[in-house]
């Protein structure tokens, strides 16, 4: 008989939830399904030849060094190269003592949760927000409070209102988690004036900001917006960047920038997690920057992803029935689609799978599933151009059928006032 030991799980572990995206990845590996679900880079864009050359050189010239354990902080050459790049491209100041290499940004999210969150601490997130973030916070028993966003991202007035309301009830939040550029899942970007306002609001309440920035290099249109870390004058921002979208996620190689004090504490937290990030991968990433391959590669993926974004938005306009709306991201990997309120995208999901098309249901991106019932996230970077068109066509038919099946139901509950991206 198989025995269960779940009664021995820690209280913390009992609160952990499986990621709907990670679970979906298994389902969508079926070849007949056109998946808009996972936030995956396009494999055709992986710079395999470059990686092969670098790998070969490294093993030939520096084998014993690149295969050894490394320091927890990360490979020095890589951190120096990142510091120079962050200064050049983003106006972010930071030297070795401010940069920690992590095993994916996901580890950064876990590490600062480990360092800052006590049970029931309040973390402010946007609604919707990245599921991997909220799952990390939840696994340290954080309480999440969400602030709505519109086409310009998180709404600072609503943030301020929420924070002061909590404050009046004797509750103070330590930090806000924010993805300011090409947000996952909504694809929206926070304007510079809003970024400044958000920084002012959190400074007044002595909070930290976690700026998660995996997508800003993937800009197709419009002008760059300065990162919150570059606007930050008080070292209040912990900035997360990653090689997952500009090299390959399989390396599990990312970085964070923070004050020396915070970096040191995060490093100690990392020591007991994995000792150090994959040394070999770090050296490959370093060479990839030093040989200037990264900038060339970013130009290539921008071009490819822009084309895919355009195909998707055009297909939405062509195949989606009346009443369906969507965001128009200027970069990144995702669009956010909102159906008429009578449609429940979770209920509709089975029909989508029956028609061989998949998405992530909107509720996955709301802590406690408190919204997003009639929304979904679609990734446009992974499928081939043809599959994007065909998949949106299939999805359009599925939505149309669902609208027909639910017509007359739940009218008048739409909550899309003032451009707020919510879903019901
Ligand atoms: N943050 C956000 C907003 C993401 O979208 C992702 C990956 N999809 C991550 C963090 C994790 O990225 P990494 O591969 O660097 O762990
Ligand atoms: O979990 C993963 O595979 C990373 C992608 C995240 C996402 O789809 O948001």
DSSP helix/strand/coil, 145: strand
Same domain, 366 and 276: no
Q: How far is the CA of 106 from the centre of ligand 1 (A)?
A: 6
358-392 pLDDT, tens digit each: 999 999 999 877 899 999 999 999 999 999 999 99
Percentage, residues of the chain above pLDDT 70:
96
Domain boundary among 234, 265, 291: 291
| Residue nearest to ligand 2 atom 9, measured at CA | 39
CB 218, CB 302: distance < 8 Å: yes
Same domain, 261 and 353: no
Query: Measured in whole angstroms, how far is the alpha carbon of residue 34 from the centre of its chain?
Result: 21
2 within a domain of the structure (yes/no): no
Nearest alpha-carbon partner for 269 in 137, 76, 77, 107? 107
Q: What is the largest CA-CA distance in the chain?
A: 70
Contact 184 CB / ligand 2 (< 6 Å): yes
| pLDDT for the residue 416 | 45
Tell me what the pLDDT averaged over the chain comes to. Answer: 93
| Confidence tier at 24 by pLDDT (50, 70, 90) | confident
Two structure tokens written together for 158: 């609503």
The enclosing domain of 54 has a CATH number of 3.40.640.10
37-76 pLDDT, tens digit each: 999 999 999 999 999 999 999 999 999 999 999 999 999 9
280-291 pLDDT, tens digit each: 999 999 999 999
| pLDDT for the residue 413 | 45
| pLDDT for the residue 419 | 56
| pLDDT for the residue 212 | 98
Q: Is 44 exposed, middle or buried (0-12, 13-18, 19+ CB in 10 A)?
A: exposed
62-68-69 Cα angle (round to 5):
145
210 within a domain of the structure (yes/no): yes
- Count CB atoms within 10 A of the CB of residue 9: 11
1 within a domain of the structure (yes/no): no
Cα gap 65→75, rounded to integer Å: 11
| Confidence tier at 408 by pLDDT (50, 70, 90) | low
- Ligand number, closest to the Cα atom of 247: 1
Same domain, 103 and 130: yes
70 within a domain of the structure (yes/no): yes
Q: Is 7 exposed, middle or buried (0-12, 13-18, 19+ CB in 10 A)?
A: exposed
Of 17, 38, 329, which is best to mutate to test ligand 2, by the most ligand atoms within 8 angstroms of its C-beta? Answer: 38
| pLDDT for the residue 286 | 98
Of 24, 39, 245, 360, which is best to mutate to test ligand 2, by the most ligand atoms within 8 angstroms of its C-beta? Answer: 39
Same domain, 274 and 318: no
Same domain, 200 and 66: yes
Q: Is the pLDDT of residue 310 over 50?
A: yes
Cα gap 359→35, rounded to integer Å: 6
Domain boundary among 265, 291, 317: 291
Cα gap 352→280, rounded to integer Å: 41
139-190 pLDDT, tens digit each: 999 999 999 999 899 999 999 999 999 999 999 999 999 999 999 999 999 9
424 within a domain of the structure (yes/no): no
Q: What is the pTM of this model?
A: 0.94
Instruction: Give the chain's domain count.
Output: 2
Same domain, 208 and 64: yes
Q: How far is the CA of 45 from the centre of ligand 1 (A)?
A: 18
Domain of residue 230, residue span: 48-291
Same domain, 190 and 131: yes
5 within a domain of the structure (yes/no): no
Same domain, 307 and 319: yes
Contacts of residue 129, defined as CB under 8 A and 6 or more positions apart, other chains included, come to 146, 177, 179, 183, 184, 185, 365, 366, 367
Same domain, 271 and 324: no
Q: Is the pLDDT of residue 331 over 90?
A: yes
Same domain, 176 and 237: yes
25 within a domain of the structure (yes/no): yes
Same domain, 363 and 389: yes
User: How many CA atoms within 13 Å lie on the side-chain side of 420?
Assistant: 20
Two structure tokens written together for 107: 């580890």
Mean per-residue pLDDT for 122-140? Answer: 95
DSSP helix/strand/coil, 120: coil
SS (H, E, C) 390-409: HHHHHHHHHHHHHHHHHCCC
CB 339, CB 375: distance < 8 Å: yes
Contact 250 CB / ligand 2 (< 6 Å): no
Q: Which residue has the higher pLDDT, 415 or 327?
A: 327
The enclosing domain of 31 has a CATH number of 3.90.1150.10
Query: DSSP string spanning 262-321?
Result: HHHHHHHHHHHHHSSS-HHHHHHHHHHHHTTHHHHHHHHHHHHHHHHHHHHHHHHHHHSP
Nearest alpha-carbon partner for 239 in 262, 223, 220, 271? 262
Same domain, 265 and 300: no
Residues facing 173 on adjacent strands:
122
9 within a domain of the structure (yes/no): no
Domain boundary among 266, 291, 316: 291
């Amino acid at each position: 008989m198989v025995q269960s030991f779940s009664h021995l799980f820690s209280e913390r572990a009992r609160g952990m939830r499986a990621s709907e995206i990670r679970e979906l990845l298994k389902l969508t590996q079926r070849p007949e399904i056109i998946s808009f679900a996972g936030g995956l880079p396009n494999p055709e864009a992986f710079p395999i030849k470059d990686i092969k050359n670098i790998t070969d050189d490294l093993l030939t010239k520096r084998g014993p060094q690149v295969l050894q354990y490394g320091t927890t902080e990360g490979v020095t050459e890589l951190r120096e190269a990142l510091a120079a790049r962050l200064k050049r491209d983003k106006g972010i100041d930071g030297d070795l003592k401010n940069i920690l290499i992590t095993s994916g940004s996901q580890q950064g999210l876990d590490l600062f949760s480990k360092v800052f969150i006590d049970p029931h601490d309040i973390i402010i997130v946007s609604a919707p927000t990245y599921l991997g973030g909220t799952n990390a916070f939840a696994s340290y028993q954080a309480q999440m409070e969400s602030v709505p966003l519109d086409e310009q991202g998180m709404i600072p007035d609503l943030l301020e209102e929420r924070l002061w309301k909590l404050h009046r009830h004797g509750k103070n939040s330590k930090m806000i988690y924010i993805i300011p550029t090409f947000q996952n899942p909504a694809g929206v970007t926070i304007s510079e004036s809003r970024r400044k306002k958000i920084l002012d609001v959190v400074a007044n309440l002595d909070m930290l900001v976690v700026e998660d920035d995996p997508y800003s290099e993937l800009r197709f249109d419009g002008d760059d917006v300065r990162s919150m870390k570059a606007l930050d004058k008080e070292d209040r921002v912990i900035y997360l960047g990653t090689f997952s979208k500009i090299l390959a996620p399989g390396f599990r190689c990312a970085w964070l920038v923070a004050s020396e004090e915070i970096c040191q504490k995060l490093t100690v937290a990392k020591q007991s997690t994995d000792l150090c990030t994959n040394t070999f991968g770090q050296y490959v990433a370093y060479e990839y920057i030093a040989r200037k391959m990264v900038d060339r590669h970013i130009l290539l993926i921008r071009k490819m992803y822009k084309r895919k974004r355009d195909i998707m938005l055009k297909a939405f306009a062509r195949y989606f029935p009346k009443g369906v709306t969507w965001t128009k991201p200027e970069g990144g990997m995702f669009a956010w689609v909102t159906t008429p309120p009578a449609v429940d995208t979770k209920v509709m999901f089975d029909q989508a799978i029956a028609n061989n098309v998949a998405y992530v249901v909107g509720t996955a991106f709301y802590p406690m599933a408190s919204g997003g019932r009639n929304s979904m996230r679609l990734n446009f970077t992974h499928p081939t151009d043809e599959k994007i068109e065909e998949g949106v066509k299939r999805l359009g038919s599925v939505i149309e059928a669902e609208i027909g099946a639910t017509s007359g139901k739940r009218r008048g509950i739409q909550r899309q006032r003032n451009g707020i991206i919510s879903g019901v």
